[in-house]
Structure 1
């Protein structure tokens, strides 16, 4: 009798502990779902990339730069369904921003542009990193989006500045003065024998 009573009490404790674990697990899953929904809502509200138009001359030069057009097209498309869609979009943006260094137009193949592309690449990669984590730091994602907007604005502004510099007319005699400053044309400094 004692043995059956002991076995029944152990069985009852196991059964009640399993039910408590199930209740705890369901409660944790509900909290996790609510947290992911909150993160999704914050990211969806802040996923706005400023696409400032550039002037016509700069647009004509950048129009031949296919990688730039693909990056901007990818940037304009906003995912809507889930966190996984945002993660996929961030990965695609990271791929597109890496391609920006390919086929840069000669006019834009300057250190100022390349450094801004490198900064933009870093910002997009950090967005991809933060949004790919299991526990997404939503404030860092929001900060990365605003940093990408600022860097993109700086890149477009530098493009327009390079085009504007070429539109400044050369004064009379300025080309001769620039040629005189060229050290490769200088008279050699070797003594004659």
Structure 2
């Protein structure tokens, strides 16, 4: 008899504990859904990219620099409805920004442009990393979107400077002076040891 009473108490306690676990799980799920909604709304408000060219140099280069055009087109398409859509979009943007290093037009294939592209790549990859975390830091994501915009403007302004400098005509003899200053063309300053055997 004592055994039956003990078993019945054990079963009742087990049922109540299972019911409490289900209620706790449901409340945790509800909190998680509400938190994701808040994160989504903050990211949705902050996801604003400067996707249009700010100067004529960028507009002109988009005709020859296909990768830049595709990157700006990818930025212009804002995801909708879910955080997963933002995660997919950040992955796509990350792939497009990596392609910026390919086929840089010769007039822009300079260290100033490459360094700005490298910084832009770093910011976009950080955005992709943060948005794919389990606990998304929405403030960092929004801040990175603003920093990407700043880096994009910096890249476009540098492109404009290069175009403006190329329009300045060279003075007489300046091209020869530039050739003389080019260290790649200079005669190597190697001292030949007279004691070494020579092939004649």
Mapped to 2, the partners of 1:6 and 1:18 lie a distance apart of: 18
Mapped to 2, the partners of 1:32 and 1:185 lie a distance apart of: 66
Q: Say if 2:111 is the partner of 1:87.
A: no
Gaps in structure 2 of 5+ consecutive residues: 192-200
* Aligned residue number for residue 113 of structure 2: 113
Mapped to 1, the partners of 2:140 and 2:127 lie a distance apart of: 8
Flag as ranges the 4+ runs of structure 1 deviating above 6 A.
Answer: none
* Aligned residue number for residue 155 of structure 2: 155
Task: Number of aligned residue pairs: give it.
Answer: 189
- Residue 180 and residue 36 in structure 1: after superposition, are their counterparts in 2 closer, same or farther (change >3 A)? closer
Mapped to 1, the partners of 2:126 and 2:43 lie a distance apart of: 15
Mapped to 2, the partners of 1:79 and 1:164 lie a distance apart of: 36
Aligned-pair distance for 1:81? 1.6
Q: Which runs of structure 2 are paired with 1:109-188 in the superposition (5 Å)?
A: 109-175=109-175, 177-178=177-178, 181=181, 184=185
Mapped to 1, the partners of 2:43 and 2:115 lie a distance apart of: 28
TM-score, normalising length from structure 2? 0.86
- Residue 177 and residue 114 in structure 1: after superposition, are their counterparts in 2 closer, same or farther (change >3 A)? closer
Mapped to 1, the partners of 2:128 and 2:186 lie a distance apart of: 50
Residues 133-192 of structure 1, C-alpha deviation per residue, up to 9 Å, x if partnerless? Answer: 111011111111111011001000000000000111223454455456567478x999xx
Matched-pair contact (CA < 8 Å) for 1:98–1:121: yes
Aligned-pair distance for 1:58? 4.2
